[in-house]
Amino acid sequence: MKNAVAIAQGPSSFSSSRGVVLTQSVVVALSIAAVISLHELIHFVVGRITGIPAVFTGLTSAGVPEGTAALYPQSALALMNASAPLFTVIVGFGLYPALARWPEIFGRARYFFTWWAIFGIPYLGLQMMIIVNHVDSSGHGADSAAVAGYLHVPMSVRAIVCVMGFVLYMVSAVWVLGVIRAVDVDMQVAHTATNVCLWRRVLGGILIFGAIACAVTVARRALLGTFPGPYMVGAFLGWALAAAVLTPWRSPAARVVWTHWLLPGAIGMAALIPFGFIGGVNDYASIWLPIIPPVVAAAMFASRDVSGVSPIARLAR
Ligand SMILES: [Zn+2]
């Protein structure tokens, strides 16, 4: 995937030998673990500041012990639950222009911090989507659902936010691509605008329709008070599969996304799964599910050259 320009720019490009991919996988795992740990620390600190005796209730959760939420003011609980997802999203969107404009200040840590953006940008849509989950004060559930519960947001509103969140989650892959383009020189020189054959476009379209139908079903089930079940998973996997089918994987841009981002990302996420069963099931078991699809979709958008769509990409230039 290297060409003259990328080689000339040397350290700015991410080469793709087996050793490099494995090193990048370790960096991905460390990066995601670090941002999740910081997120939980924010819950903990904000909880303590607002007078809630917050505790770490698991490897990836902080809050009050189950069943004790009624003892504390709802506004303080809402603040404790809202602070950390806001942090994750602000870090994600904030790093985008920072990585694009001043890559040199990140130095060798650029790859590490790019994953905070890859995680944090689609995280806004993800939190909007899981706002229909049940309210959990111990930190094991969805932050946005806890905030909506404490603020008494009606389920009808939460259901609409859920579907809008999934659409935003899908769209945010364009910004994920923007971040990847900003830091990866090989991406900047890779040819784009390749297409896939008709049957793949049809199948991809059906899968996108199916993914959105899954998100709508999640919202409908929330309104009926029934468990979203496999539909939440179906929405993420449907979108990832659609993007995979619609990506011309032989195109140079898609290959760069694969070797520099998707493959190390998948290995790094897989390495985190065993940690998802330490001290009860925690987020590390399933965090790959919302993180991987936007990277697959970035490969799809990369081969269609939609970078101009992103206002943040323009801002970052
Ligand atoms: Zn949280």
Q: How far is the CA of 69 from the centre of ligand 1 (A)?
A: 16
- The tally of domains found in the chain comes to 1
Q: How far is the CA of 127 from the centre of ligand 1 (A)?
A: 10
In this structure, is residue 220 part of a structural domain? yes
Confidence of residue 58 (pLDDT cuts 50, 70, 90): confident
Q: How far is the CA of 155 from the centre of ligand 1 (A)?
A: 20
Q: How far is the CA of 101 from the centre of ligand 1 (A)?
A: 29
Residue 4's pLDDT is 38
In this structure, is residue 89 part of a structural domain? yes
Confidence of residue 15 (pLDDT cuts 50, 70, 90): low
In this structure, is residue 70 part of a structural domain? yes
Domain that holds residue 185: 2-8+18-316
DSSP letter for each residue of 55-105: EEEETTEEEPPTT-GGGS-HHHHHHHHHHHHHHHHHHHHHHHHHHHH-HHH
Confidence of residue 74 (pLDDT cuts 50, 70, 90): confident
Q: How far is the CA of 183 from the centre of ligand 1 (A)?
A: 28
The span from the CA of 96 to the CA of 119, in Å, is 11
Exposed / middle / buried, residue 203 (Cβ in 10 Å: 0-12, 13-18, 19+)? middle
Averaged pLDDT for residues 273-281: 91
297 three-class SS: helix
Q: How far is the CA of 58 from the centre of ligand 1 (A)?
A: 12
In this structure, is residue 13 part of a structural domain? no
Q: Does pLDDT of 39 surpass 90?
A: yes
In this structure, is residue 79 part of a structural domain? yes
DSSP letter for each residue of 204-216: HHHHHHHHHHHHH
Both structure tokens of 3: 């060409």
Q: How far is the CA of 197 from the centre of ligand 1 (A)?
A: 42
pLDDT above 90 covers a percentage of the chain that reads 64
pTM, two decimals, is 0.89
Q: How far is the CA of 39 from the centre of ligand 1 (A)?
A: 6
In this structure, is residue 167 part of a structural domain? yes
Residues 6+ apart with CB under 8 A from 204: 196, 242, 243, 245, 246
Q: How far is the CA of 42 from the centre of ligand 1 (A)?
A: 8
Residue 67's pLDDT is 77
Both structure tokens of 194: 């390749």
In this structure, is residue 241 part of a structural domain? yes
